[in-house]
């Protein structure tokens, strides 16, 4: 069964770093032509757009709250997308989800048809 699987979450102190991974699983499931994005949702809050990358990796787009701290990248040969998170803040605490958009385009940034189950990121002060 085709699915997106996130990993790399955990507990980190403020100012620290984490790298999240999102791997496509399933024998024939490839995300190499999809635009991929990361979203997050904190308890009691709406889902928030974090970052997006187009199908080739040539273009990226970030939410205002993470610009300059987070970097999205992809390795199509490994069928995996990454989110490098630096200088983490307590307000970054949330469940992080990756999502795929079959259009492959960078915009609109929040469009997605496939979602992972999420990975928890907790930043302590």
Per-residue pLDDT of the chain (125 residues; tens, 9 = 90+): 779 999 999 999 999 999 999 999 887 789 999 999 999 999 999 999 999 999 999 999 999 999 999 999 999 999 999 999 999 999 999 999 999 999 989 888 889 999 999 999 999 99
Nearest to 102 by CA among 115, 112, 89, 90: 112
Query: What is the CB neighbour count within 10 angstroms for residue 73?
Result: 15
Query: Residue 58 contacts by C-beta under 8 Å, 6 or more apart in sequence?
Result: none
The label of the residue with tokens 């385009």 reads 105
């Amino acid at each position: 069964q085709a699915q997106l699987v996130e990993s790399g979450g955990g507990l980190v102190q403020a100012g620290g770093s984490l790298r999240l991974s999102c791997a496509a699983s399933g024998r024939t499931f490839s995300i190499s032509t999809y635009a991929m994005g990361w979203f997050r949702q904190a308890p009691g809050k709406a889902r928030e757009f974090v970052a997006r990358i187009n199908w080739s990796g040539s273009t990226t787009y970030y939410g205002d709250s993470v610009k300059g701290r987070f970097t999205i990248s992809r390795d199509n040969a490994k069928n995996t997308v990454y989110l490098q998170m630096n200088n983490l803040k307590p307000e970054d605490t949330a469940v992080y989800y990756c999502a795929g958009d079959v259009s492959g385009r960078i915009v609109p940034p929040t469009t997605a048809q496939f979602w992972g189950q999420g990975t928890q990121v907790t930043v302590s002060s």
